[in-house]
Chain A
Amino acid sequence: MAEMLMKGNEAIGEAAVMAGCRYFFGYPITPQSELPHYMVKRLAEVGGVFLQAESETSAINMCYGAAGAGARVMTSSSSPGISLKLEGISYMAGAELPAVIVNIMRGGPGLGNIQPAQSDYFQATKGGGHGDYNLIVLAPASVQEIVDLTIDAFELADKYRNPVMILGDGVLGQMMEPVEIRELKVNIPEKPWATTGATGRKPNLINSIYIAPEPCEEHNLRLQVKFRQMARENVRYEDYRTDDAEILVVAYGTSARIAKGAIDRAREQGIRVGLVRPVSLWPFPYEHLAEVAQKVTAVLVVEMSAGQMIEDVRLALNGSKPVDFYGRLGGMLPVTSEILREIEKLAKGGRSNG
C-alpha cells in the first residue's frame, strides 16, 4: 500500500489494472487522454493489450469482442466520443457483455469545448443508445473515489453481465490528489457463456439480434428483471451535514465538491444546510433523497448543466418540496460564492434561480 499523487485519468487506468483489466481500446480526446497514455505504458508492463482504434466506433466494438471472449476490458472517451460509442454500448447491453466505459465529460453540445461539464447525465442514465437498457453509472468526486469505484465497476460489470459507466468530468480527470494504490486479490468469475473456442463443448453464441418479436420480448423481459435487480442492489450516496439540515443541496461529482465548500461557509453563518451526493446516478437514490428531504424546507440542485439530474430529484420528491436549481453551462464551473448566494436566498425564504 503506497500513497501516490495521481491525476484522476491516470488513477482510472491504475485502478483498472488493479482490478484485472488487461485490455483497453480507445481513441484520444481531451480531457481524458492521459488515461489511454497511461494504459499504453501500464498494460505493456502487465502483459496486456492497448490498442488505439481508428475511431470510437471501432474501439467500442473491440470491447464487444474482448468482453465476448471473457476478458476484463475498458474503453474511455469524453462526451462527443461517447456519443459515437452509444451504438456499441447498446449492443453490449443487448448481448449482456460486461465492460467498463469511462466518460470524462466536457462542454457540449456538438464539439463544444474541452472544459469540464456534467451535461451528459441524461445520456448516461436514461439510456443514451437505442432500446430498453440501463447502465450502472457511478460518479466519483475525488481521485481516491475514482480508484475505488473503478475497481467496483469491473466487479459489477461481471456480476450482472452489463456495461458499467464511470461518469466524471474534466476537473476530476485532470486534477491530482493522493491515492492509495494497493495489491488486490482479483477473482474474475467463471464465464461459461464466453466465446473461448468451443473445444469439447457446444459453441456459445453472443448476439443481440432476435429476429422474431416473441423471443425478443422474452429477452427484454429477462433483461428488465436484471435491471430491476441492479437497481435494488446498487444505490450509493454520501450525506454531508444533513442531520439537522433545513436546506438540502443535491449535487454529484465536481459540483458536489464545490457545493460542500459553500455549505461550510453557510454553516458558519448559522444556516442549517446539508448535501446529498448521489454516487450511483443509475440507480438514483430516490428513496433516500425523499427521506432526507422530509425534514427540509427547500432543495437546491447544483449541476454543471442546464439541469438534468434535477428531473430525478423532482421524481424523488414527487412534488413534496420546491426544487430550485443553480447550474453553469458549456464548460463553466459553479463558484463557491455563487452557490452560497443561492443558499442564502433560500434561507431567507426566497427562491433561487429556479
Chain B
Amino acid sequence: MLQEIIMAGFGGQGIMSMGQLLTYAGMLENKHVAWIPSYGPEMRGGTANCGVTISDREISSPVIFEPTAAIIMNRPSLDKFELTVKPGGFILVNSSLIEQKVQRTDIKACYIPANELAEGLGSSRVSGMVILGALLELTKVVSFDSVEESLKKVLPEYRYNLIPLNRQALEKGAGVVRQAMKFAVANPR
C-alpha cells in the first residue's frame, strides 16, 4: 500500500492541519508516514499545499510527484494539480468553490460541496474535514477512528468539545461518496 496524497487550497483553509491530521492517523496505525508542506512566497495570500505519504514500506521521496489522490479546495489548485494525478487516481474537488470540472478521463473525479455541507453542520470551518471524510471513504487510507484519535493528540484538551462536530463532518463527506457510488452502480454507462 502506497498512498501519496496532495491537499491544496487557499492559505487559511486548514490544508496544512488537515494533512498533519491524516499523517498522524497513519502513524497511529503503525504505517510509514511523511508530511511535507509547500513553502515559499506563494504561501502569502496565495495557494498552500501539502503532501501526505502513507505506506507499508519505507518512504523514499516525501515530495510527491505523481499523487494517488488529490484534495482540491480552490480553483488555482485544480489548474496546478489535475495533470499530476496518477492515472487511475482520485481527484476530490470542493465544488462549493470550484465550478470548473475535471477534464481528464483517466482519473476518478469526485465533487464534494464541502462548504455547504460544513455550513449544514453549523460551521464552515469543518469543510476540510468533510472532504477528508470523502477521501477516507474512497481510499480507505486510514480508519475514521484513527483520525478521531489523532484529533485528541493534536487538539488541546479545551478544544475536545469540537471532536464530535469534526467526526460528523468526516461522516458527512463519506456519506456523499457512498451515495455517489450507489448512483454510479445504479446507472452504469
Decide: B27 and A335 in contact? CB cutoff 8 A.
Answer: no
Residues of A within 8 A of B60 (CB): 257-262, 264, 336
**Which of A30, A177, A261, A336 contacts B39 (CB under 8 A)?**
A30
Decide: B65 and A3 in contact? CB cutoff 8 A.
Answer: no
Residues of B within 8 A of A337 (CB): 65
Residues of B within 8 A of A336 (CB): 60-61, 65
Residues of A within 8 A of B177 (CB): none
Q: Taking the complex as formed, is A333 at the interface, i.e. its CB lies under 8 A from any CB of chain B?
A: yes
Residues of B within 8 A of A98 (CB): none
Asked whether A114 and B61 contact (CB < 8 A) given A5-B27, A176-B34, A178-B27, the answer is no
Query: Which residues of A70-121 have CB atoms within 8 Å of chain B's CB atoms?
Result: 113-115
Nearest-neighbor residue (CB-CB) of B153 within chain A: A5
Asked whether A3 and B27 contact (CB < 8 A) given A176-B35, A176-B36, the answer is yes
Residues of A within 8 A of B20 (CB): 5, 176
Residues of A within 8 A of B61 (CB): 254, 257-258, 261, 333, 336
Q: Taking the complex as formed, is A307 at the interface, i.e. its CB lies under 8 A from any CB of chain B?
A: no
Min CB distance A258 to B, Å, is 4
CA of A178 to CA of B29, assembled, Å: 12
Min CB distance A330 to B, Å, is 13
Decide: B36 and A174 in contact? CB cutoff 8 A.
Answer: yes
Residues of B within 8 A of A176 (CB): 20, 23, 34-36
Residues of B within 8 A of A115 (CB): 40
* Tier of interface size on chain A: 20 to 34
Query: Which residues of A4-39 have CB atoms within 8 Å of chain B's CB atoms?
Result: 5, 30-31
Query: Which residues of B9-39 have CB atoms within 8 Å of chain A's CB atoms?
Result: 20, 23-24, 27, 33-37, 39
Q: Taking the complex as formed, is B97 at the interface, i.e. its CB lies under 8 A from any CB of chain A?
A: no
**Which of B36, B40, B58 contacts A114 (CB under 8 A)?**
B40
**Which of A5, A31, A261 contacts B24 (CB under 8 A)?**
A5
Q: Taking the complex as formed, is A171 at the interface, i.e. its CB lies under 8 A from any CB of chain B?
A: yes
CA of A113 to CA of B41, assembled, Å: 10
Asked whether A114 and B39 contact (CB < 8 A) given A3-B27, A5-B27, the answer is yes
CA of A171 to CA of B34, assembled, Å: 11
Asked whether A174 and B37 contact (CB < 8 A) given A5-B23, A258-B60, the answer is yes
CA of A336 to CA of B59, assembled, Å: 12
Decide: B27 and A171 in contact? CB cutoff 8 A.
Answer: no
Residues of B within 8 A of A178 (CB): 27, 33
Nearest-neighbor residue (CB-CB) of A256 within chain B: B60
Q: Taking the complex as formed, is B62 at the interface, i.e. its CB lies under 8 A from any CB of chain A?
A: yes
Residues of B within 8 A of A264 (CB): 60
**Which of B33, B58, B63 contacts A171 (CB under 8 A)?**
B63
Q: Taking the complex as formed, is A175 at the interface, i.e. its CB lies under 8 A from any CB of chain B?
A: yes
Decide: A333 and B27 in contact? CB cutoff 8 A.
Answer: no
Decide: A257 and B40 in contact? CB cutoff 8 A.
Answer: no
Min CB distance A8 to B, Å, is 10
Q: Taking the complex as formed, is A68 at the interface, i.e. its CB lies under 8 A from any CB of chain B?
A: no
**Which of B33, B63, B65 contacts A177 (CB under 8 A)?**
B33
Residues of B within 8 A of A333 (CB): 61, 63
Q: Taking the complex as formed, is A168 at the interface, i.e. its CB lies under 8 A from any CB of chain B?
A: no
Decide: B39 and A257 in contact? CB cutoff 8 A.
Answer: no
Residues of B within 8 A of A283 (CB): none
Decide: B62 and A175 in contact? CB cutoff 8 A.
Answer: yes
Per-residue CB contact flags for chain A residues 323-334 toward chain B (1 = under 8 Å, else 0) read: 000000000010
Q: Taking the complex as formed, is A170 at the interface, i.e. its CB lies under 8 A from any CB of chain B?
A: yes
Min CB distance B19 to A, Å, is 9
Min CB distance A172 to B, Å, is 9
Nearest-neighbor residue (CB-CB) of A178 within chain B: B27
Min CB distance A65 to B, Å, is 33
Inter-chain pairs besides A31-B39, A258-B63, 6 sampled, C-beta below 8 Å: A115-B40, A177-B35, A178-B33, A254-B61, A259-B60, A336-B60
10 A-B residue pairings within 8 Å (CB atoms): A5-B27, A115-B40, A171-B36, A171-B62, A175-B34, A176-B23, A177-B33, A257-B62, A261-B61, A335-B65
Interface set of A (CB-CB < 8 Å, partner B): 3, 5, 30-31, 113-115, 170-171, 174-178, 254, 257-262, 264, 333, 335-337
Interface set of B (CB-CB < 8 Å, partner A): 20, 23-24, 27, 33-37, 39-40, 58-63, 65
